[in-house]
Amino acid sequence: MDKNELLKGLNASQRNAVETIGGPLLVVAGAGSGKTKTLTHRIAYLIASGVDPSSILAVTFTNKAAKEMKTRVQTLIAAHGLVTAPGFIGTFHSLGAKLLREEAMYFKRTPYFSISDKSDSLSLIKSITKELNLDKEKFPPQAILAAIGLRKNGQSKGNNEHNFFESIVSNIQAKYEDLLITNNAFDFDDLIMKPATLFAENPELLRKYQARWHYILIDEYQDINPVQYSLMKQLAEHHRNICAVGDDAQSIYSWRGADFTIFLDFERDWPGASLVLLEENYRSTQTILTAANAVIAHNSLKKDKNLFTRKEAGPPIYVIEADNDIQEAAICIDTIAGLAKNNLSTLEQVAVLYRTNAQSRVLEEACIRARLPYQMVGGTKFYDRKEIKDLLAYLTLAINPNDTISLERIINVPARGLGKEAVNILRIRDTHEREEALGRYRNKKSVAAFLEFIHTLQEKMRELPLVQVLRFLTHELKFQEYLSTKTEEGIKRWENVQELVNAASHYDTRSTNRLENGVAFLETANLYQDADALHEHARGITLMTIHAAKGLEFETVFLVGLEEGILPHERSLTEESALEEERRLAYVALTRAKKTLYILFARSRKVFGSFKMNLPSRFLAEIPDTLVEYTNATSAKTYIDEDFIEYN
C-alpha cells in the first residue's frame, strides 16, 4: 500500500510528527489537538514504511487509553491493507507485568505470581506493624504504605536514618518484601521499579529487550514518573527511536509522582531530538482557547505554544459571582435547568467541574432538589463516602441505640478490637442479661468504654449544636489521624468530613430542640441517598473533579469555586511549583469546554462549620476582560428552598 494514504486528513504539524521516523522526537500536543490520532497514525505509518511490527512498543497510563490506542491502530492497519499489529500496546504496568513474568526467577518468584492490590498490600503492612507492636497513630499503616510507594517510584531515597519515621519504614519495607516473596506476589509499584532495577544491574538482559523493541512511543509523557522514565530510557537508549507525546500544560498529577520536568528536559536528555508542536485545536471556540492561553502564559516552566482553532470565536465566558457556596450551587443548577428548558443544551452535554471532592455535596443536593438527574464521574457520591457514612452512623446510634446496622458499622471505627461477639452482646436489650454476657467477654473494658462514649454522645446531641457535636465526635475519635491525613487520599477524606460539618450547620437553628435538629439532618441525608437511587439509570449532568475530567470534553462546562484557597488550593499558595500546577489544573478545566464556559465563585463559604471569606482566584484575573461577561447574581431560588439557601 501507499504509506502516504495514512497522511490524508492530517494537518501539517501532525504529518510532520507521523513522518519523522528515525531518532528521538518530542510531540507537544496541546489540548484538543488530535494527539491520539497523531500517535496511532504514526504507529501505522511505521508499519507501512516496512518497520517490523513486533519491534514497536507503545505505552500509556490507563487501560482505557491503551484500549482506545489499540483499537484505533487495528482499525487503521486493517483499512489500509496491513495485517500485523504492533508488538506491544498497553499500560506501563502491563508492560512491567510482562517483563516480570518473563524474568520472574530473578526475583525468587514464578511466572504465575499474583499482583497485590492496595488493600492486599495494606493488610500485609498492618500485620507487620502489629507484629512490631507499633502505635498505629504514630505509624499509620496507610502512611507507611504510601511512603514505601514513594520510594519505589523514585520520589524518596528512603535513606535518611536520622529520621525515625524513615528508619521504621525501612524496617517495615524489608519485612514487607519478604512477605511478597513468600506469597509469590509483586505490588503495583514493583511492576515498574523491579524491571528498571533489573536492567540497571544486568546489561546483557537489557540488550535482549533493546533488540526486541526498536521503536518506542510514550503517550501522556508529561505524567511520567522517575522510575517509568528510567525504564523507558533504558529500553530506548540503544536505537534512540523514542517518540514522546504529551502536553506539559496538562501535567496535574505530581501528587501521584509525575514529574513534568522530565517532559521539559526531553531535548536535553536526547541530543538532536526533533520537536513538533500540535497547536491547532479541534475542540473549543477561539474565546475559550484565548482565555486558556492567557492563563497558562503566567507559568514560568513550560513549552511555549499558542492554541488556535479555525472555529468561530463563540460566546463570551460567563463569570458569575455568588454570595456563598450554597447560592453558587443553586445558580449553577438553575442555569443548567434553564439551558435544558430552552433547548440550548441537553443535561448530558453539561459538566460541572470542581477542585475538591468535598465541593460536590452542595451541587448534589441542588440537583436533587431541582429533580435533575446527575452522575458522579471518578468519585463516589457524597453521602455514599465511607467516612461520611461512618460519622452519620455514630449520630444515628446516639439517637437510636437500637439501630444494630449502625452499631455494626462503627463498632470498630476506629479499631477497638471488638468483633462479632461484642456486637451480639450490645444487641441484648435486657440490661441484666447484657451485664452477664459482658462479664464473660474477654474485652469487656473496650465494650464498656464504647458504651460510655455513645452515652456521652447522646448527651451532646441533646445539649449542643450539631456542628459542635461533630467537632466533639471527630476530636474524640481522633478521626483526622484515623483517616491518615499524611496521605493525599486521607487529606481528601478529611475535607469531606469538614464538608459534612458544613452541611450540619444549616440545621442548628431549625428548632430549639437540639435532638430534633439532629433527626432532621439525618433524615435529609437519608433522603438524598434515596433520591440518588431515583436517577440511577439516568445519565444527566456530569459532576466531577477537574483531575477526573482530563481527557474529556463537553459542550458546556461550569467551573465552580474559582477562589483563592480553592483553585488555587490553599496548600499550593506558599510554593511556586505547586501554584504553577494549580494553574495547569485551571488550564485543563478551561479546555474541557467545546462551546460555552461558565465560571462561578463565592464570596464566602463555610469551612468546618464556620464562615470563611474568599477572594476571587488569581486565575480569573488572568483571563482578558474582553473575553468575559460578568454577572453579579444576588439570588437563584427557582429550585432551592428558602431555608436551604440562607446561612444561619
User: What are the residue numbers of the active site?
Assistant: 35-36, 219-220, 250, 592
CB 323 within 8 A of CB 603: yes
Instruction: Say how far residue 58 (Cα) sits from the centre of its chain.
Output: 24
CB 331 within 8 A of CB 558: no
- DSSP, collapsed to helix, strand or coil, labels residue 632 as strand
- In order of 113, 141, 181, 190, 318, the CA distances from 123 in angstroms are 18, 9, 15, 17, 49
In angstroms, the CA 256 to CA 419 distance is 35
In angstroms, the CA 45 to CA 14 distance is 12
- In order of 364, 397, 531, the CA distances from 369 in angstroms are 9, 27, 9
CB 357 within 8 A of CB 549: no
- In order of 354, 520, 602, the CA distances from 329 in angstroms are 11, 22, 10
Closest CA to 514 of 501, 502, 504, 524: 504
In angstroms, the CA 388 to CA 526 distance is 12
- DSSP, collapsed to helix, strand or coil, labels residue 576 as helix
What does the H/E/C string look like for 335-381?
HHHHHHHCCCCCHHHEEEEECCHHHHHHHHHHHHHCCCCEEECCCCC
CB 99 within 8 A of CB 91: no
Q: First CA to last CA across the chain, in angstroms?
A: 73
- The per-residue b/e assignment along 437-470, b for 16 or more CB within 10 angstroms, e otherwise, is bbeebebeebbeebeebbeebeebbeebbbbbbb
Side chain identity, residue 382: F
- DSSP, collapsed to helix, strand or coil, labels residue 191 as helix
CB 192 within 8 A of CB 59: no
In angstroms, the CA 469 to CA 463 distance is 9
Grid coordinates of 525: 441525608
Instruction: Say how far residue 233 (Cα) sits from the centre of its chain.
Output: 27
CB 530 within 8 A of CB 634: no
CB 566 within 8 A of CB 602: no
CB 355 within 8 A of CB 566: yes
CB-based burial label for 17 (10 Å; 0-12, 13-18, 19+): buried
Dihedrals phi, psi of 446, to nearest 5 degrees:
-70, -40
- DSSP, collapsed to helix, strand or coil, labels residue 42 as helix
Strands 541-545 and 374-376: parallel
